Amino acid sequence: MLVVIALGGNAILQRGEPLEAENQKRNIETAAKAIAKVAREHTVVLTHGNGPQVGLLALQNEAYPDVSNYPLDVLGAETQGMIGYEFEKALRNELPDAHIAGLFTQTVVDTQDPAFSSPDKFVGPIYSQEQATELARTKGYFMKADGEFFRRVVPSPMPKSIVELNSIKQLVDNGTMVICTGGGGVPVARDESGKWQGVEAVVDKDRASTVLAIDLKADALLVLTDVEGVAINWGKPDQKTIKTATPEQMEEHGFAAGSMGPKVEAANAFVRSGGKIGGIGSLAQALEIVNGQAGTVIRADHNGEVDYH
């Protein structure tokens, strides 16, 4: 099968973990082991998040006031190179005989998207409420609560298409594992003269991965995170994890927009567009999710009631 793996940013830097290069390298090496298990049995296209890295580069920007800050699209491009390099290296060590290529990727967005008037995409490290208030005052950042902490939020327009789609298809057809659409891809749009221009935004990784998986006609889309699957009644005594369901059954439950909601949205959209499997769960169980043995698996052909673990 052709499997698109959308890897959450927590696989690269854990929540609250110092934004150190060595931490990132170690986490990526761990992630590569799980991805390699899938790649030994299926064709894999890997995408990844970049929220903490974009935020870190923005902070480094501000530490050198002698030059103007680089825009978000350029910072996104930088993270694709940084993270893609580490993943390609780690995956080559796990799969020495495999063909692997990291591909710089751009994502088409609409500059009239309402996201530009209502930023909601988290980037960068966590802050206390006091720190967040000061950053909003001094830097003009939009800050929102993320659990018990606060983080900067930026516009996250809906992805329309992947500019390099045909190149990705050619590589996949030739048996290459492709690392692409990092951080949702660098957002771009055509100006009035038809020329491509960067857009000051960050595209949601799960949404861009869905567009990519649909256009590649992939068999499976795995949205991997740090939990074992999609749970209902989260944090309550009757909490339980969904094992198998249809998109319609998943939509009967309300999932938080800031956490599981976008992942369920992505998997549902993929399955409704003809994908066989939309899987959500733990990175460590990636292969088991593909095989229906772990995580939450969304299928259009699931018959009967929702199954639970």
> Which residues does the annotation mark as catalytic?
9-10, 121, 205, 263
Segment (H or E) for 146: strand 142-146
Residues in the chain: 309
Write the burial class of residue 138 (CB in 10 Å: 0-12 exposed, 13-18 middle, 19+ buried): exposed
Give bridge partners of residue 282 from the DSSP assignment: 225
Residue among 198, 215, 222 nearest 78 (CA)? 198
Return the bridge partners of 46, or none.
5, 179
Number of Cβ within 10 Å of residue 175's Cβ equals: 9
Q: Classify strands 149-154 and 2-7 as parallel, antiparallel or unpaired.
A: unpaired
Nearest to 295 by CA among 31, 286, 44: 286
